[in-house]
Amino acid sequence: MKILRTGAILVLLSVVLVVAGGALGGRGGMQIALVIAVVMNFVSYFFSDKIALKTSGAQPVSREQLPRLYQVMERLAAKANIPVPKLYVVPDAAPNAFATGRSPNHASVAVTQGLLQIMNDDELEGVIAHELSHVRNYDILTSSIAATIAGAITYMAEMGKWAMLFGGFGGNRDEDREGGGFTAILMIFLAPFAALLLQLFLSRTREYAADETGVRMVGHQQGLISALEKLGAYNKRIPTSAISPSTSALCIVKPFFGSGTLSSLFSTHPPLEDRIATLKQMTVTPLR
């Protein structure tokens, strides 16, 4: 079911990309968009984890360097019945964590130095359980594909705007007379918005699901609740110095980038208050 869901999302976003290419550039634009979709899906599947780790400056760590983190990770991975992911530390004072990779067998979990410094054992366990839930649910692959193709759709729409200003959309005159030009104008604005909404829906839904699965993995919600409260407080004061906006959707909480952040309506994460309230009302059942 998880693989089918990922495949359905991949197909849906690829269709949006190809339709946008057809509206903006006719048959030639559709063919170019199809090639872009294939390349983007290939890159997302095989290299999204390496890109996320590289752009954040994450460094691999050994058991000797961080025995506390390894102990928590190994214990929870056994409960979740998945291989122990590769562990990384991001040189960032802002506390956060993210998981990446195409499957449980090819997964990595990264935590910031700031997170390791402020979390007690129960809170660290809650954070790691949340990230392992993303691995177990194949959320990291879904999010990477959605982010990559949504970015391609937005880029194509920007190219369409320039084409509109400097000579048309690449289609023929008959297409313009039949309304192709109007369709292209609509696609320039609607395709990126549709891709954004789908990406936001996926990101928000998976955060609630990962919270729930993580709590069931640990057996109680107190550690994750306390961790989210700390993360919310610290991320209001400490802007991230390492995590990029393209990687932020993978994080357990939305990183703080300083002034000029978007409203919660267009955030890839649901409000922390809502997540904490949902956790407090949750009845914990064993993970299967």
How far is residue 268's CA from residue 112's CA, in Å, rounded to a whole number?
20
What's the pLDDT at 179? 42
Most confident of 8-22, 190-204, 222-236: 222-236
Q: Give dist(CA 156, CA 169) in Å, integer.
A: 11
Q: Which of 64, 74, 125, 131 is catalytic?
A: 131
Encode pLDDT of 81-116 as tens digits: 999 999 999 999 999 999 998 889 999 999 999 999
Smallest Cα–Cα separation from 46: which of 97, 103, 88, 99?
A: 103
Rounded Cα distance between 230 and 210, Å, is 18
* Predicted local distance difference test score (pLDDT) of residue 149: 60
* pLDDT value for 249: 79
Contacts of 208-212 with CB under 8 Å at 24 or more apart are: 208/270, 208/275, 208/278, 209/133, 209/137, 209/139, 210/130, 210/131, 210/133, 210/134, 210/137, 210/139, 211/130, 211/133, 211/275, 211/278, 211/279, 212/133, 212/282
What's the CA gap between 252 and 95, in Å, rounded?
10
DSSP 1: -
pLDDT band at 51 (very low <50, low <70, confident <90, very high): confident
Task: Report d(CA 245, CA 223) in Å as an integer.
Answer: 27
Indicate if the pLDDT at residue 263 is higher than 50. no
pLDDT value at position 173? 44
The confidence score (pLDDT) of residue 143 equals 66
288 membership: H or E segment, kind and range: none
The stretch 253-276 carries a mean pLDDT of: 74
Q: How far is CA 181 from CA 16, 17, 189, 263, in A?
A: 18, 17, 13, 33
Looking at residues 180-186, what average pLDDT do you find?
A: 52
Q: What is the pLDDT of residue 244?
A: 81
**Residue 149 Cα distances to 11, 242, 244, angstroms:** 10, 23, 17
Res 49: pLDDT: 83
Percent of the chain with pLDDT over 70: 59
Q: Are 224 and 252 contacting, i.e. CB atoms less than 8 angstroms apart?
A: no
Domain locations in the chain as residue ranges? 2-280
What pLDDT is attached to residue 175? 46
Is the pLDDT reported for residue 207 higher than 60? yes
User: Taking all residues of the chain, what is their mean pLDDT, rounded to a whole number?
Assistant: 78
What band does 35 get if pLDDT is binned at 50, 70 and 90?
confident
- pTM metric for this prediction: 0.75
Report the pLDDT value the prediction gives residue 178, as an integer from 0 to 100.
Answer: 45
Alpha helix ranges (H) inside 57-138: 67-80, 113-118, 121-136
**Has residue 2 got a pLDDT over 60?**
no
Which of these ranges, 9-23, 53-67, 117-131, 165-179, has the smallest mean pLDDT?
Answer: 165-179
Half-sphere exposure of 69 (CA within 13 A, CB side): 25
Is 131 known to be catalytic?
A: yes
